[in-house]
């Protein structure tokens, strides 16, 4: 958005790894920001840049100050959170549930499937195993995530996780793989043109309806009204 609205130059500082997109000439990526002195930013690779504005993208923090220490989830922002059996049951207390703690691709689809799973535990339709089994489940999922960093694999892993919850709960069936395919299309469009991926249309995994193409390219559209996006 800064690029779209006319920033002369943009520096993106990453904590772990480069985003790797084909940025316009006035956008560059550098390692983690180390210090700021007046207008000068210094990064981990020793490079510096003078800036007018700093935008902090801080990510997510799991923070539960209202809960007793022994009940607090402590995890980094990842696709398999620590200490949650099947991604929802607190390992040390199987009567405590956390929903939506994962880094996410599928968002509300996943939240809904998790809610069904927790509901069925509460209704005694699903039996939660002993602690050792719960810990083993978490360790296997974490190991799987840590062994593979490709986003495409993570799309698939989270899709498989949702299908697993659906199978355990008789969740109303819909085509999770169709949604996964949309992610692959979306990711390819971002790799091809990070400033143009919003200019594509996609087919709904629920209805099969193909959305209309935006009437104006994203980079040229400065009207935030609904009509400007649907051409009415």
153 to each of 31, 147, 156, how far by Cα in Å? 25, 10, 5
DSSP 84: E
Model confidence over 186-199: pLDDT tens digits?
A: 999 999 999 999 99
The count of other CB atoms within 10 Å of the CB of residue 148 is 12
Q: In what order do the strands lie in the sheet with 48-50?
A: 33-37, 40-43, 48-50
* More confident: 10 or 77: 10
The percent of the chain in helix, strand and coil, each rounded to the nearest 5, is: 35, 10, 55
**What pLDDT does 191 receive?**
93
Q: Taking the domain 10-50, which CATH number applies?
A: 3.50.50.60
Query: Looking at the whole model, is its pTM more than 0.85?
Result: no
In the chain, domain spans = 10-50, 69-177, 193-230
What does the pLDDT look like over 201-230, one tens digit per residue?
999 888 889 988 988 999 999 988 877 777
Map residue 49 onto helix, strand or coil: strand
């Amino acid at each position: 958005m800064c690029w779209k609205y006319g920033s002369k130059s943009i520096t993106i500082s990453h904590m772990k790894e480069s985003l790797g997109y084909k940025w316009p000439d006035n956008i560059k990526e550098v390692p983690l920001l180390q210090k700021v002195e007046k207008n000068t930013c210094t990064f981990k690779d020793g490079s510096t840049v003078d800036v007018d504005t700093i935008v902090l993208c801080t990510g997510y923090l799991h923070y539960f100050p209202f809960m007793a220490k022994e009940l607090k989830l402590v995890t980094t922002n990842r696709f398999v959170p620590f200490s949650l059996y099947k991604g929802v049951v607190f390992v040390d207390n199987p009567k405590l549930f956390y929903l939506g703690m994962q880094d996410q691709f599928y968002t509300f689809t996943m939240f809904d499937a998790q809610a069904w799973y927790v509901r069925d535990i509460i209704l005694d339709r699903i039996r939660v195993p002993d602690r050792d089994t719960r810990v083993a489940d978490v360790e296997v999922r974490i190991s799987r995530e840590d062994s593979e960093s490709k986003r495409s694999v993570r799309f698939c892993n989270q899709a498989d996780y949702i299908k697993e919850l659906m199978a355990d709960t008789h969740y109303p069936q819909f085509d999770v793989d169709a949604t996964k395919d949309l992610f692959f299309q979306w990711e390819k469009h971002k790799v091809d043109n990070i400033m143009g991926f919003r200019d594509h249309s996609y087919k709904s995994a629920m209805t099969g309806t193909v959305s209309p193409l935006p009437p104006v390219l994203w980079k040229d559209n400065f009207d935030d009204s609904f009509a400007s996006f649907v051409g009415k």
